[in-house]
Amino acid sequence: MRKYRRITYEDRCQIYALSKRGASQEDIAGILGVSQSTVSRELWRNRGQRGYRFKQAEATAQARQAIRSRPRKLTAPLRRKIEAKLRQMRWSPEQISGWLFEQGIKLSHERIYQMIWQDKRDGGDLWHSLRRRGKRYNKRGGKNAGRGLIPDRIDISERPTIVARKARLGDWEGDTVVSAGHKGGLLTLVERKTRLAKIIKLPRATAHATHRAAVRRLKPIGDFTSSPSTTERSSRRIRTSPMP
C-alpha cells in the first residue's frame, strides 16, 4: 500500500500531461508514487468546466487550503466574550474552553492561548490577564526544580519495606495546603499505622516554617521506643489522643 502524500504543483503538471496522452489513473498513480484514489480525488475535486487543467487545479487547491486554515470559530463576538472572561473574571483558557463547550462551541484551550500570544505580538496586553502572566511550568523530569521535581529528593520507592506494610508505629506522611498568594497554609501529618492526623497552621508557606512546625508537633512523641511493651502502651496513647 502506497503512503498518502499531498499533491504538489509538479504532480498536477504531470497529471495534466499524462491525462492528455490517455494514461489511466492507475498508470498515473504508479508514475507519481501515490495511490489511485489520490489521483482520482485530485481529478474530481480540482477540475473545471473545461476539464482538468494544472494551473486551475493549483489555484483551486490553494483557495481551499486557505479557507480550511482560517479560524472560522474565533469570530469577533466570540473574541470579545473570551477577553471578558480573561480580564474581568480571571478565567484560565482551560476554563473558558469548558464554558464554551457547554454553550455548544468547540474551541480548544490551545487555540485560546494562540489568540493571546498573537495579541501580545501585536502589542496587546491580554497576556497580563493570565494567572501566571504567561510563565511556563517546568517540564516533568526536567533538570530544574519545579512541578514534579524537588532538588535532592529521595524517591518513595527507596523507603523501607516495613513502612509500606504499616507494621509499626512512628512512620508519618506529610503534606501541605497552601493558601492563595502563598501567605500561609496548613501542614498535615498522618501516622501510617494508626491514621492519627495532626494539622498545623503555618504562618508562612516556606520550607523552614514547615520544618519547624513538624518538629514542634512531633517532638512530644519522639521518645517512644520500639520495644513490644512500650509499643503497646504507645499505641493506646496515640489512639486516644484528641484530634488537633
Please write the tens of the pLDDT for every residue from 220-237: 876 654 444 444 444 333
User: What pLDDT sits at residue 231?
Assistant: 40
pLDDT reported for residue 10:
93
pLDDT of residue 71: 54
**CA-wise closest residue to 174 among 145, 203, 207, 144:** 207
Residue numbers of the chain with a pLDDT score lower than 50: 137-141, 147, 225-244
Q: Pull the grid cell for residue 235.
A: 499505641
Gap between the Cα atoms of 175 and 197, Å rounded: 11
Q: Which residues pair with 175 in a beta bridge?
A: 188
First to last CA, the chain: 70
Residues 6 or more apart whose Cβ sits within 8 Å of residue 48: 56, 60
- pLDDT score of 140: 44
The pLDDT tens digits of the residues spanning 10-50 come to 999 999 999 999 999 999 999 998 988 899 999 998 988 88
pLDDT at 217: 84
**Interstrand relation of 197-202 and 185-191 (parallel, antiparallel or unpaired):** antiparallel
Distances (CA, A) of 108 to 43, 70, 71, 122: 35, 15, 12, 22
Give backbone dihedrals phi and psi of 47, rounded to 5 degrees, phi first.
Answer: -90, 155
